[in-house]
Amino acid sequence: MATVLRKFMTLQERFLELENLKTESDSAVARKRGLDFEKLVRDLFFHHGLLSIINKNGYHTSDNKSEQIDGVVNFDGKIFLLEAKWAKKLAASSLYEFIGKIENKFHGTLGIYISYNKLNENFLNALRKGRKQNVIVIHGEDVKLLFNEAVNLKEFLKYTIEKLSFDNIPYISVKEFQDISKILQEKEININDDKINGFLKKCIVTKETVEPSDIQIELEKLNKAEQAKVFKTLFKVAPKLLKLAWPVPKSYFNTARYFRTYEPDFSISILKDLPDKYFSQYIFLNPKIYLLKFLEIFINRFDKIDQSAREIFFNKIVDLYKVVDFEGENNLTEIFEQFEELYPNEIKNELHKYYIDFYYSSNRDVRFPQKNFAKELFARKKIERKIIIEWITKKIESDLILYESKKDFNIDYFANTYRDLGKILNLDLSEWTQLLEEILKEI
């Protein structure tokens, strides 16, 4: 009877039933929940008309059943392999194994990796390090949102594929997709000033695109204080107005044109504290918008911000390097390169580890600031010995995972690969190899 009733349960009810299972003391129940979650995920895609008609169930590949595939999705002419995980702790190797399954298939095959539990940043960042991104990840609270009837899975996949195709980010959240429609519908920015509201409605949130020359004409009708108020208002809501989405709203183009047209005067009282807040708050709140779109306006104010704002900046800057994309790395490099003498030594040292990564990254091009500055640091031998030892030790530890034992580790090849670090220490290849052998022994 229970089996019959389960057929009539909604997807959301079945999901809640899995959530409420107590599995701590029963591994068999935990395994069954994992299998039931795989089936529930397949049923979700079937419900949205996305499951492949060729193979609607999970299966093992025909070559001696070497790989298990949880499901196959056919969307917009693209084939996606499904992987559904309920486990609390997932190692990055789980993702790499799934990527391997995808890359073994016909060219163009993609993947959808669904984890009930939230994945950590290292796991997500592994998606775009050293390989072409071909996996859509849905995890944590986003999984719960998927089982809400309000989420159109086809539209979510369409939005995700478009966004990941032109941006260097590891994943798109379901919540971001839900919020984007609200952003697109936003037509009003309310200020208690008829003159300024008139400018905003005529030049920013109008249904038509406005030429820069017309924006300039309308700006000149405002006095300097009113112009500054417009800038501060639009600056605060810039993440909403400049968030790229499809279809692109007219307000996006108008806002971008406005910020290219108006040059703020930070001597005006309403704007005086904005550089302090920019470097201590805004770039950390939304680096994709504030760092990328506004650094050119604020960068020459960095050495003039007050001491408390500077301290906040330095306390947060190392963590910001962990989350930004390539463009963000380039923007942060511009600040670091121009004002390197203002950075405390301990912050410089931590950032130098990132620039060693950039130096050896095949995904970063010397034409761009982050790679070029990394090469400059190597050429000037500006990286301290202890930082090089810490970085290379961590690198040996991570590479050791690929070998069965230390004896199999190819130290000569490794030393030759990273010999430029040895040159910073004024070591020849033989001396550098000897140092690495000593580090390997201690691991």
Q: Where are the beta strands (DSSP E) in 224-308?
A: none
Confidence at residue 13, expressed as pLDDT on a 0 to 100 scale: 86
Each residue's pLDDT tens digit, 121-157 = 777 776 666 567 788 999 989 998 888 767 888 888 8
Does the pLDDT value for residue 227 go beyond 90? yes
Q: Which amino acid is at 245?
A: A
pLDDT band at 188 (very low <50, low <70, confident <90, very high): very low
Burial of 344 (0-12, 13-18, 19+ CB in 10 A): exposed
pLDDT at 184: 43
What φ, ψ does residue 84 adopt, rounded to 5°? -120, 125
Q: Does residue 381 register a pLDDT over 80?
A: yes
Can you give the pLDDT at residue 190? 53
Does the pLDDT of residue 387 top 80, yes or no?
yes
Strand order in the sheet with 71-75: 71-75, 78-85, 110-115, 135-139
pLDDT given at position 317: 97
Domain 2-182: give its CATH code: 3.40.1350.10
Residue 179 pLDDT greater than 70, yes or no:
no
At 324-373, the pLDDT tens digits run 999 999 999 999 999 999 999 999 999 999 999 999 998 898 889 999 99
Asked if residue 98 lies in contact with residue 129, where contact means CB atoms within 8 angstroms, the answer is no
Domain extents for the chain? 2-182, 187-333, 386-442
Whole-number Cα distances in Å, 10 to 7, 14, 19, 115: 8, 6, 14, 20
d(CA 312, CA 276): 10
- CA-based Rg of the chain, rounded to a whole angstrom? 26
